Structures are given as C-alpha cells and as structure tokens.
Amino acid sequence: MSVNIDLFIRKLCARSHLSREEENALRGMRWGLRRFERHQVMVRPGQELTESMLLTAGFALRCKFTPEGTRQITEINIPGDFIDLHGFILKRLDHEITAASRCEIATVPHSELMRVTEEFTRLNRILWFQTLIDAAIHREWMLVLGKKRSRSRVAQLFCEMQARMAIIGLPSKEGYPLPFNQQDLADITGMTPVHLNRCLKELRDADLVTFRNGRVEFLDLNGLSREAQFVPEYLHPGPHEI
C-alpha cells in the first residue's frame, strides 16, 4: 500500500489553486511511509530533524510540558496535516508530538522540501501559509484560554474541529471521531479532568453536544457555536490569493 497525500492536497486546494506542475511536484517528492501506535511519541523536543511528517490517517497531539511535568496540548493534528512542517525550518522542535490514535504517516526528507521550494517559490509560500494558519489557531487559543469560561472553551474545541474536518471534506455536520479521553480534552482546554467532565455534562444537559467513546455528536451545532462564541475566520477557511 502506497503513500496517499490526497487529503493534504485537498486542504491546500481549499485555499489556493494548485497548478498541475505544483501538484505533481508535491506528489513527486520521495515520500516514505511510517506507522505509529496510539501513545507513541513521534517527535521528541530538541531532537534533530531531517525529514517532515504528513499525517495521512489518525490523530496526533503537540504537547508542551511545565518543569513539574503537567502537560498543555498546543495543537491537534488531523489527517491531511503536515504535522512537523515547521521542523523543516526550525530543525528542532520545542514540543513533543504524540500519536493520539494509530497513525499513518507520509514522511519526506527536508532535502526534498528544499529542492521543491527552491524550484517552485509559490509552493514555498503555500507551505509557509500552512504554518501561519497554525499560528493563527494558536492566537485564537490564547484568546480562548485567556478570556473564555471553561464551558465555552470546550464548546470552542468541538466547533473548531468540526470546521477543520469540513475543510478537508470529512463528514462532520452530525458528529465526528475525536479519539481522546477526558484527560486529553482537559489538557487542551486548560482545566482539570474533573472540571472538564462537569463541562461535558453541562453541554450534554443543555442538549448541545455529547462526547462519548472518542466521538463528538452534535445535538445543536448552532447553539454550541453560540456557547463558544465561535468565529471561524481565524482558520482562513476560504480561498486565498498567494
């Protein structure tokens, strides 16, 4: 079975037109295939990187730790995400990347990225753009963590993941898989698992959303979006001149 970067291409095309040459250049890189089991560490902080990884199936988490060892999840990666594209430039990451479920990965050597971005400078900007969307999501979460109440933070998480699934064309209007436990959700939303559990109960009791067995099911997406005060522009969901 071979490497399949279709979801990634689809994510790029959702924003910018890709010429046939550009698409071929991306597909023509020397991609490799790797698999990780749930909870396996994919990248360690500080580790020197010579290739980057594109998630083709499964979910991954980027985590930072305080010196005492408590964890903050700074990003959730879904299929189609180029999970350590920033490693191409940074060479070492300040955070860890872990498989949240069984993951299938397409790898590409940095030398290949170098070759293609030197030849296709517009592709270079398109890749840069992807890392800037990550940064925009980080900024949004600074707002969420700094200013919103716990219940809204959880609602925001569910809304954001829905929107991101929709961008790559995965079915998500009714619900979607989110293979995390409540400890994980707590480490994303900056609260304790106990309190997260109470927030989930409140959202469930308000007939907005349920989360069970690693699946989100919407009861009232509009209502949830209102609870979160979710404004999806930061995801740059629409087309974009580059």
Taking alpha carbons only, the member of 66, 72, 95 closest to residue 83 is 95
Does residue 198 belong to the site contacting DNA (CB under 7 A)? yes
Query: Is the CB of 131 or the CB of 182 nearer to a second copy?
Result: 131
Q: Assess 215 for contact with DNA (CB under 7 A).
A: no
Please give the full DSSP string across 76-121, using - where no structure is assigned. Answer: EE-TT-BTTTHHHHHSS-SSEEEESS-EEEEEEEHHHHHHHHHH-H
69 part of the interface to a second copy, by CB under 8 A:
no
Does 4 help bind DNA (rule: CB under 7 A)?
no
CB of 107 to a second copy, least distance (A): 20
By CB under 8 A, the count of residues binding a second copy is 51
Q: What is the DSSP letter of 67?
A: T
> Considering only residues 2-31, where is the footprint of a second copy by CB under 8 A?
none
Dihedral sign from CA coordinates of 134, 139, 142, 143: negative
Sign of the dihedral through C-alpha 194, 200, 204, 210: negative
Between residues 33 and 143, which has the closer beta carbon with respect to a second copy? 143
Establish if 233 lies at the interface with a second copy (CB under 8 A): yes
| 53 DSSP β-pair partners | 107
- Number of Cβ atoms within 10 Å of the Cβ of 25: 18
52 binds a second copy (CB under 8 A): no
Return the one option of a second copy, DNA, none that residue 242 interacts with (CB less than 5 to 8 A, by type).
a second copy
d(C-alpha 106, C-alpha 240), whole Å: 26
Residue 236 sits in the site that holds a second copy (CB under 8 A): yes
Q: Least distance in Å: CB of 134 to DNA?
A: 25
Q: Binding to DNA by residue 27, rule CB under 7 A?
A: no
C-alpha dihedral sign at 115, 117, 123, 127 = positive
Q: What backbone phi and psi angles, to 5 degrees, belong to 144?
A: -65, -45
Contacting positions for a second copy (CB under 8 A): 46, 62, 64-68, 70-72, 74-75, 86, 89-91, 94-95, 117-118, 121, 124-125, 128-129, 131-132, 134-136, 138-143, 145-148, 187, 189-190, 229, 231, 233-234, 236, 240-242
Q: Which residues bind DNA (CB under 7 A)?
A: 149-151, 181-183, 190-195, 197-198, 200-201, 212-213
